[in-house]
Amino acid sequence: MKRLLSALGRGFHRWIGWKRLGIIASITVICIAVVSLARTLASVDPGLVVSALREKSWWQIGAATACVVGAFFTLTFYDLFALRTIGHLHIPYRIASLSSFTSYVIGHNIGATVFTGGAIRFRIYSDWGLNALDVAKICFISGLTFWLGNTFVLGVGLAYHPEAAATINLLPNAINRAIGAAGLAAIVLYLAWLSFKPRELGQNGWKVTLPSAGLTGVQILIGVVDLGFCSMAMYILMPGDPGIDFISLAVAFILATLLGFASHAPGSLGVFDAAMFMALPQFGKEQLLATLLLFRLLYFVIPFVLALTVMGTREIWLSVIRPWQERRRALLDSAAVSQPVNTPQDK
């Protein structure tokens, strides 16, 4: 049996590997979601969707926009927390916020966030003396903040309201409640593990010191506030009839977000939307589609355009304007040095 398992393991690593398995899983999730979404939208009346969009009040749009702004403001602390954790105190908040915002927004909209987000972070932080290893640590700590926040919020939601997830994962309430309790227990054990002594992860030159139990509490809080703002934006945009409580909506929203994130689809397109339709069958398709379209505009499209504009402007400044200014200044300095100086004898 041991030989058989060893042979299967070698065959798996040789012919498939975890990377290929991840790609296959992502493609499978995207295909299933697209087919499900296409079937759901086949009977949608575009006229009713437009009517549902017109029914959204300016108060709803304004309040949801404020929540989205709050979510992205909270997001800027992901990188700031990571930078302080690995000891780079010289990098100011404005640079951390620029990196966190642009890397998340552009990476999430393009897809393969780990690679695209990491590349954008490296482009920004390399100007401040950080290397690829430092950027990898920042990505790791930021990702840890994301997953700790999601685990905590989803754990509370599933333990308190397990039926909210049943329409997505098709599991009994008892199992969903057990999953929620297990997530919360894992966080408690992780905090206890951090309490005894400083902990490090990594080897062979790549090591990162994990935040202490107290700082991990701050880390969880950052993730919870971020998710709270995002969920509240969606909650505000939801149709008023039938009603839905915030916890149920938050559980469905977070599960849909995680599925979209795991799929690596650009902007979670298709996956997030299909999951929301599955999670909220009590709402009319046209009304829910109008809500999703408006949320996508506020959370994906507008920030994406803004992030591209900011990064494009920065690149033009660094690659064109600043070198031109430096050359012009150098020419003026050389001209001033070469110009003869009048002396009393000349007069």
Q: Across the strands, what pairs with 208?
A: 201
Positive or negative, the CA dihedral 45, 50, 55, 61 is positive
Asked if the structure places residue 346 within a domain, the reply is no
For residue 327, pLDDT beyond 80: no
Q: What is the mean pLDDT of residues 309-334?
A: 77
Give the residue with greater pLDDT, 164 vs 237. 237
Read off the pLDDT band of 319 (50, 70, 90): confident
How many whole angstroms separate alpha carbon 261 and alpha carbon 254? 10
* Cβ atoms 286, 277 nearer than 8 A: no
pLDDT of residue 12: 46
Q: What is the mean pLDDT of residues 276-285?
A: 87
Range of the domain at 269: 49-319
pLDDT of residue 278: 85
Q: What is the mean pLDDT of residues 206-229?
A: 91
pLDDT of residue 190: 94
Q: What is the mean pLDDT of residues 274-293?
A: 88
- Residue whose entry in the numeric block shows the structure tokens 């689809």: 265
How many whole angstroms separate alpha carbon 269 and alpha carbon 38? 12
Question: Considering the chain, what percentage of its residues have pLDDT values greater than 90?
Answer: 39
Nearest partner of 248 among 177, 169, 160, 178, judged by Cα: 160
Asked if the structure places residue 9 within a domain, the reply is no
How many whole angstroms separate alpha carbon 258 and alpha carbon 209? 26
- For 28, other C-beta atoms within 10 Å of its C-beta total 11
Give 131's DSSP letter: -
Asked if the structure places residue 161 within a domain, the reply is yes
pLDDT tens-digit readout, 29-41: 566 656 655 665 6
- For 64, other C-beta atoms within 10 Å of its C-beta total 23
Q: Across the strands, what pairs with 316?
A: none
The counts of H helices and E strands in the chain are 15, 2
- Among 122-126, 188-192, 239-243, 248-252, the minimum mean pLDDT is found in 239-243
Asked if the structure places residue 206 within a domain, the reply is yes
Q: What is the mean pLDDT of residues 312-327?
A: 77
Residues 6+ apart with CB under 8 A from 104: 75, 78, 113, 117
pLDDT of residue 118: 87
Asked if the structure places residue 188 within a domain, the reply is yes
pLDDT tens-digit readout, 129-154: 899 899 989 999 999 999 999 999 99
Question: Considering the chain, what percentage of its residues have pLDDT values greater than 70?
Answer: 80
Number of structural domains found in the chain: 1
How many whole angstroms separate alpha carbon 253 and alpha carbon 259? 10
Residues 6+ apart with CB under 8 A from 260: 268, 271, 272, 275
Nearest partner of 69 among 283, 230, 214, 200, judged by Cα: 230
How many whole angstroms separate alpha carbon 211 and alpha carbon 81? 10
How many whole angstroms separate alpha carbon 256 and alpha carbon 165? 10
- Among 21-25, 40-44, 323-327, the minimum mean pLDDT is found in 21-25
* Cβ atoms 164, 247 nearer than 8 A: yes
For residue 22, pLDDT beyond 70: no
Computed over its alpha carbons, how large is the radius of gyration of the chain?
25
pLDDT of residue 347: 44
- Among 138-152, 204-218, 280-294, 316-330, the minimum mean pLDDT is found in 316-330
For residue 184, pLDDT beyond 50: yes
Q: What is the mean pLDDT of residues 316-331?
A: 74
Q: E strands along 139-232, which residues?
A: 200-203, 206-209
For residue 19, pLDDT beyond 70: no
